Structure 1
Amino acid sequence: MKNILIIGATGSLGETLRRKFANQDQYQLTLFSRGSNLLRVNENEQAMAASVFEDEKLNQAMQKQDIVFVALSGNLPEMIKPILKVMYDNKVKRIVFVSSIGIYNEIRGSGNISNNPILQPYRQTADIVEESGLDYTILRPAWFDNGSDTTCQISFKGETVTGHDVSRKAIIELVSTIIDQPERYLNQNIALFR
């Protein structure tokens, strides 16, 4: 059985990941979000309503996890720090962190960090995760949509990205591959697009 902590469980990617693993006994999901108390949980889920700044609850959620999936918005550089600390404290090594396309000026046009300072916290947080010493995968999806496609193109850090959109299903399909095969995309920083 795989124990998966979803931080940001009520967001669009957290919800899509939940649906992917709903009622599958080989996966035990811990849903961590400020609004998790409003969720109707499946048999293989437990919900914890809390903020990442609530150390005791975050520590409780981190117990015995195999992998941590983080898809948040807000003050990301400050939010990732307690997550990484609690991962260290609990000897949880594997993290998948969702950042954003454009943080390395890898796309054509105005959607890059050089023209769009709103991306700066995503870049800072990606740097923090890369330097953490944990086993990470950083995902830099293009604009997500509700498309039905479950595959996407991938480019690695330093490569140009040619697409603009990606479906939530395709992102989560790749995340599920990483959950099942934790060595996939290990210590990689990848853009996802169609």
Structure 2
Amino acid sequence: MTNVLILGANGQIARQVIAQLKSSKAAMKLTLFLRNADRIKDIAPADSTIIDGDTTDTDALKKAMKGQDVVYANLAGSNIEAQAKDVVSVMDALRIKRLIWISTLGIYDEVPGKFGEWNNKTLGSYIQNYAAAAQVIEHSDLDYTLVRPAWLTNKDEIDYETTEKSEEFKGTEVSRKSVANFVVHLIQEPNLEVKHSVGVNKPNTDGDKPAWY
């Protein structure tokens, strides 16, 4: 049995991850950590633990993290760097190693051409905040994977490719369902992409900006 803690469990990608884990045959015990916990009861597995909490509350984090094998963080906010520091600190204290962290494209200035220019202008300080959080994680001794999705859609499809930190980002968009599928693979096979930062995009979606924007 693998114990998995999902931080920010009501996020749109996180909800897709929960749904995909529920339909898999893998032996998983989920702990779902979020503010206003009633929001997740509609999709939570019957045997899951639901915790109402905030990642800035390190005491609540410690209680949630005890006994976990994998931490998957689907967090957001202008204080994302501080949240990263708290997550890393508590994981270190409890000697938990495996972290999957949702970040964003552009944190290494890895998005080329006109799309990169548009992405930087459109996201602005959002990129800097997430880049700072990524540095916290990359400078830790955790077995982390940073996931950098392209611009997200709600398309009902699983269709994606990946790039590494040293490579130029590809494409402009990807479905949340696809990103969730990648996260599920990482949860089920925790030795994959350890200490890597991975871009995730739908193939053949190159352009100056997402086609739907």
Identify whether the pair has TM-score above 0.5, normalized to the shorter chain.
yes
The equivalent of 2:135 in structure 1 is 127
The equivalent of 1:57 in structure 2 is 60
Q: For residue 25 of structure 1, report the CA deviation from its aligned partner.
A: 6.9
The amino acid of 1:163's aligned partner reads: G
Q: For residue 114 of structure 1, report the CA deviation from its aligned partner.
A: 11
> SS of the residue aligned with 1:192?
strand
The amino acid of 2:15's aligned partner reads: E
User: Are residues 1:4 and 2:4 paired?
Assistant: yes
Alpha-carbon separation, structure 1, partners of 2:176 and 2:123? 25
More helix as a share of residues? 2
Q: So what's the TM-score if we normalise by structure 2?
A: 0.85
Q: For residue 44 of structure 1, report the CA deviation from its aligned partner.
A: 2.8
User: Are residues 1:76 and 2:80 paired?
Assistant: yes
Alpha-carbon separation, structure 2, partners of 1:115 and 1:82? 24
The amino acid of 1:118's aligned partner reads: Y
In structure 2, relative to structure 1, the CA distance for the partners of 1:3 and 1:93 (3 Å cut) is same
Q: For residue 48 of structure 1, report the CA deviation from its aligned partner.
A: 0.5
The equivalent of 1:93 in structure 2 is 97
Q: Is contact 1:31-1:45 (8 Å) kept?
A: yes
In structure 2, relative to structure 1, the CA distance for the partners of 1:163 and 1:25 (3 Å cut) is closer
User: Where has structure 1 moved over 2 Å in runs of 4 or more?
Assistant: 22-25, 112-118
> SS of the residue aligned with 1:155?
strand
Alpha-carbon separation, structure 2, partners of 1:171 and 1:53? 25
The amino acid of 1:53's aligned partner reads: T
**Which structure is richer in relative contact order (CA contacts within 8 A, separation 6 or more)?**
2
The equivalent of 2:51 in structure 1 is 48
Q: For residue 42 of structure 1, report the CA deviation from its aligned partner.
A: 2.1
The amino acid of 1:137's aligned partner reads: T
In structure 2, relative to structure 1, the CA distance for the partners of 1:128 and 1:43 (3 Å cut) is same
Q: Is contact 2:88-2:140 (8 Å) kept?
A: yes
Question: Bigger CA drift: 50-59 or 134-143?
Answer: 50-59
Q: Is contact 1:145-1:168 (8 Å) kept?
A: yes
Q: So what's the TM-score if we normalise by structure 1?
A: 0.93
Alpha-carbon separation, structure 1, partners of 2:87 and 2:201? 27
Total equivalences in the alignment: 194
Q: Is contact 2:26-2:188 (8 Å) kept?
A: no
In structure 2, relative to structure 1, the CA distance for the partners of 1:39 and 1:148 (3 Å cut) is closer
Identity of aligned residues (%): 29
Q: For residue 9 of structure 1, report the CA deviation from its aligned partner.
A: 0.3
Tell me the C-alpha RMSD between the 2 structures: 1.8
The amino acid of 1:39's aligned partner reads: I
